[in-house]
Structure 1
Amino acid sequence: MTLDRASGRLIVWFSLLVGLLFELMPVPDTIVPFRPDWLLLILIYWSMALPHRYNILTAFVMGTLLDVLLGAHLGIRSLAYSLVIYLIVLNFQRLRTYSFLQQTVLIGIVLCIYHLIVFWLQFLLDHSEFSNQLLWPVVSGMILWRWIYWLLRRIRRRYKVR
């Protein structure tokens, strides 16, 4: 493995670590319902950009790590991340050719699927109730997708991540 390849992988794993830290970062109670899924958005970008390298296994590992750090039931987010990233990897060539508005809508659908899977699993395990606040992160994720995509793409091109 050359030094360029190793540094590219380190950049990707560093961005995933930053996404994990953003997931764990404390925020005011008024902002909590609108907190976007930082880690999932970053995983979606890397699985669209480099699906042969960052795919379902990466999503499963990061989801398990997030479950452990959040103290949630082990496997809820890892299963949801894996299913969502599977959908992205399955259609990555189509997603790349879509316009930015179409991509944003599809990212919103994928984020909605993620939140519904997490809700369904939590309902089965804890009998949690559905609330309208469940889908606010979908809206904030759709709004932030443009900037996350732009930032990670610049990083990928500048450091020649392959």
Structure 2
Amino acid sequence: MKNVYFLHTCIAYILFLIAFILQSIPWPQNIYFLKPSWVYLVYSCLVVIFPEKVNIGTGFTLGIILDLFVGSKLGIQAFLLTILSYLIIIKLQWFRKVSLFKKTCLMSFFLFLIKFIIFSYIYLTNYITFQISYFGNILTDIVLWPWIFAVIKKIFVFFKIINRY
């Protein structure tokens, strides 16, 4: 039992490290609006799979690290990751019962809500104009979320940490 918990923790840390590395890779300016939110995607998948181990406190810690990593105002990403985990945990029983398509639809709504909160905060603190390209990465997130969810789930099944559900 102790080895399974240690293995789960190591895999989660490695996945978060990969997500942070992918988040920091620079993209060309003309397609930057398609850059996915890797940390949000990996974190949301792990909250769905392991809500008892990857929870609101983990989201807050990752958010603080992400704030320091990307240079945003301290606490914004932490607040948003805690909101995301709270929304997922509220709908967790529903998440366990429905198909991957419905999970993706609800997750896309959650990610749009998070992105809208970020936009509202930036709009209120700094004057920016609305551009539809600001929400372009949501399309990339919608396409990538089921794939990342399936890959993470297969990793945990491969190491016999979870059974298929």
Q: CA deviation at 1:138?
A: 1.0
**Other-structure match for 2:25:** 25
Aligned mates of 2:145, 2:70 — CA distance in 1: 24
Q: Which has the higher contact order (CA 8 A, sep 6+)?
A: 1
AA at the equivalent of 1:144: L
Paired residue secondary structure (1:130): coil
More divergent stretch after superposition (124-133 vs 81-90): 124-133
1:8–1:160 CA contact under 8 A, matched in 2: no
In 2, the alpha carbon distance for the partners of 1:18 and 1:89 equals 24
**Is 1:102–2:102 an aligned residue pair?**
yes
Count of matched residue positions in the alignment of Structure 1 and Structure 2: 162
In 2, the alpha carbon distance for the partners of 1:130 and 1:161 equals 45
Q: TM-score by structure 1 length?
A: 0.94
Query: Is the deviation greater in 142-151 or in 126-135?
Result: 126-135
For residue 67 of structure 2, what is the aligned residue in structure 1?
67
Distance in structure 2 (CA, Å) of the matches to 1:132 and 1:20: 26
Counterparts of 2:75 and 2:122 in 1: how far apart (Å)? Answer: 11
Q: CA deviation at 1:4?
A: 2.8
Residue ranges of structure 1 left out of the alignment (5+ in a row): none
Aligned to 1:53: 53
Same amino acid, percent of matched pairs: 25
| Alpha-carbon distance in structure 2 between the residues aligned to 1:127 and 1:58 | 32
Say which SS state the counterpart of residue 26 (structure 1) adopts: coil
Deviations 1:50-79 (A, max 9, x none): 111101111111111111111111111111
Question: What amino acid is the match of 2:142?
Answer: M
In the TM superposition, what is the alpha-carbon distance from 1:127 to its structure 2 partner?
Answer: 2.8
Mean Cα deviation higher: 119-128 or 27-36: 119-128
